[in-house]
């Protein structure tokens, strides 16, 4: 049929009009929905965009990190803001899925005109967003992405946490010295840049120290059954098992290992730190497990204790975990750089961030090196009677 009947063409036109009206109607409401008064350079507030995994498999991390950031922004505003302006934080959820963060950050930059971006915990998703920030010349500070590739993306990308080569090496030392392990089995998540990277750096450090990786098994995030891999690991009879993954899978792995009668020490990295780990695996199964992380709320340091008290007062008595502390630090380091730069201009803030030296963070004194990474101490946590317990601090 070549010719449209007058009836259908009119209907088509009406639909178009309706669609246009809808679009027009959406625009103003969408703009104010984001919460910040974002009107470009001469704005009355300093608009900072934060992308986070508020729901999904790493929701605990995203929520903690976001609460830390929020607390920092609120404290900064209470202290009078910066450069005569108040901060305004826009937060968007990427649902712990790949592909969302790019869209969010693009929207932050083009629609909300943010002056800086904060995020996120998972290295894979930070690596998605970083090229967008780099291209737009907007400084991005990741609170807790530990994969080295994140800041390699460009000179506008920073982080306030230690990186996986350091974490992998310290875990290798821990396995050799504290656990007295000579043969370690590795069970890593192939679908996660964090897990894969940390596993590799651990192997480098561990084999360099004379240890042996006796069995290497893989899984994919969202897997539920690890008994097959664990049975193969058990048959190789290692001294300990290293699981560089996130807490959802790590909890299931520990529980299933104990079900198979594996009583060996099992240890992991900072991806383990969430109360869900204990809920999923159960306190009993977690006996003889360890992980490394960025700070311990049990520390006697005055800065840590002030932060813990402020956090508990703000969020119904919740004790802040490492992700919350790093979320807090990321906002504070950014604000400090803006203060030293005396402006929110992207390039100047970038230079100020790069010059950050011995800034007193909750997670320890932070200096950003030439590769825009923080070097700082790590702590080892163990689980005793169903509770996380501080074991030791390891200096870089």
Partner 1 sequence: MTELLQQLINGLSLGAIYALIALGYTMVYGVLRFINFAHSDVFMIGSYVGFYLAPKLGAGSVLGGLAVLFSAMAACALLGVIIEKLAYKPLRNRSTLTVLITAIGVSLLLQNGGQKLFGPNPRAFPKLFPETQLHFGELTVSSNQLIVLAVSIFLLVMLWWIVHRTRIGTAMRALSFNATAASLVGINNDAVISFTFALGSALAGAGGILYAMNYPSIDPLMGTLPGLKAFVAAVLGGIGNLPGAALGGLLIGLVETFISGTRASTFRDAIAFAILILILLFRPAGLLGKMRVEKV
Site residues (CB under 8 A) for partner 1? 55-57, 59-60, 95, 190, 216-220, 222, 224-229, 231-232, 234-235, 248, 251-252, 255, 259-261, 276, 279-280, 282
Helical residues (DSSP H) of the chain, grouped into ranges:
6-33, 59-78, 100-110, 123-136, 149-152, 164-177, 193-208, 227-235, 247-259, 275-281, 302-314, 322-341, 346-354
- Residues with Cβ within 8 Å of 348's Cβ and at least 6 positions away in sequence, in order, are 341, 342
Nearer to partner 1, 122 or 361 (CB): 122
State the minimum distance, in angstroms, from the CB of residue 229 to partner 1. Answer: 6
State the minimum distance, in angstroms, from the CB of residue 283 to partner 1. Answer: 12
Please tell me the distance from the alpha carbon of residue 281 to that of residue 277, in angstroms, as a whole number.
6
CB neighbourhood size of 372 (10 A): 23
Nearer to partner 1, 316 or 395 (CB): 316
Please tell me the distance from the alpha carbon of residue 369 to that of residue 128, in angstroms, as a whole number.
23
State the minimum distance, in angstroms, from the CB of residue 385 to partner 1. Answer: 17
Nearer to partner 1, 17 or 260 (CB): 260
Quote the tokens at residue 325. 């502390």
State the minimum distance, in angstroms, from the CB of residue 57 to partner 1. Answer: 6
State the minimum distance, in angstroms, from the CB of residue 177 to partner 1. Answer: 30
CB neighbourhood size of 163 (10 A): 24
Nearer to partner 1, 15 or 279 (CB): 279
Indicate the helix (H) or strand (E) that contains 360: strand 359-361
State the minimum distance, in angstroms, from the CB of residue 396 to partner 1. Answer: 33
Nearer to partner 1, 31 or 56 (CB): 56
- Residues with Cβ within 8 Å of 172's Cβ and at least 6 positions away in sequence, in order, are 202, 204, 205, 206, 208, 209, 211
Nearer to partner 1, 115 or 198 (CB): 198
């Amino acid at each position: 049929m070549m010719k449209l009947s007058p009836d259908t063409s009119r209907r088509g036109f009406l639909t178009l009009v309706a669609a246009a009206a809808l679009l027009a109607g959406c625009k103003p409401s969408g703009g104010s929905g984001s919460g910040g008064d974002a009107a470009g350079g001469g704005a009355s507030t300093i608009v900072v965009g934060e992308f986070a995994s508020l729901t999904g498999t790493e929701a605990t991390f995203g929520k903690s990190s976001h609460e830390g950031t929020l607390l920092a922004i609120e404290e900064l505003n209470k202290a009078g803001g910066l450069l005569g302006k108040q901060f305004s934080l826009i937060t968007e959820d990427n649902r712990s899925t790949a592909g969302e963060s790019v869209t969010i950050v693009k929207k932050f930059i083009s629609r909300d005109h943010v002056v800086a971006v904060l995020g996120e915990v998972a290295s894979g998703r930070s690596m998605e967003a970083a090229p967008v920030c780099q291209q737009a010349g907007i400084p991005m500070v990741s609170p807790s992405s530990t994969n080295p590739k994140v800041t390699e993306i460009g000179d506008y990308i920073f982080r306030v946490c230690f990186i996986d080569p350091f974490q992998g090496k310290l875990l290798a030392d821990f396995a050799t010295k504290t656990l007295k392990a000579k043969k370690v089995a590795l069970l890593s998540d192939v679908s996660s840049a964090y897990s894969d990277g940390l596993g590799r750096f651990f192997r480098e450090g561990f084999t360099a120290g004379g240890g042996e990786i006796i069995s290497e098994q893989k899984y994919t995030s969202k897997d539920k059954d690890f008994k097959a891999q664990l049975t193969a690991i058990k048959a190789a009879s290692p001294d300990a098992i290293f699981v560089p993954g996130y807490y959802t899978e790590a909890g299931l792995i520990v529980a299933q290992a104990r079900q198979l009668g594996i009583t060996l020490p099992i240890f992991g990295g900072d991806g383990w730190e969430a109360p869900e780990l204990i809920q999923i695996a159960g306190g009993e199964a977690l006996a003889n497990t360890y992980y490394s992380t960025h700070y311990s709320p049990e520390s006697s340091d005055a800065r840590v204790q002030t932060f813990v008290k402020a956090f508990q007062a703000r969020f119904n008595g919740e004790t802040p975990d490492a992700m919350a502390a790093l979320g807090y630090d990321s906002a504070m380091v950014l604000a400090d750089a803006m203060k030293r730069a005396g402006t929110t201009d992207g390039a100047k803030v970038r230079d100020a961030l790069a010059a950050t030296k011995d800034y007193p963070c909750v997670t320890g004194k932070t200096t950003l090196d030439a590769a825009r990474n923080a070097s700082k101490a790590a702590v080892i946590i163990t689980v005793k009677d169903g509770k996380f317990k501080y074991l030791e601090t390891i200096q870089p």
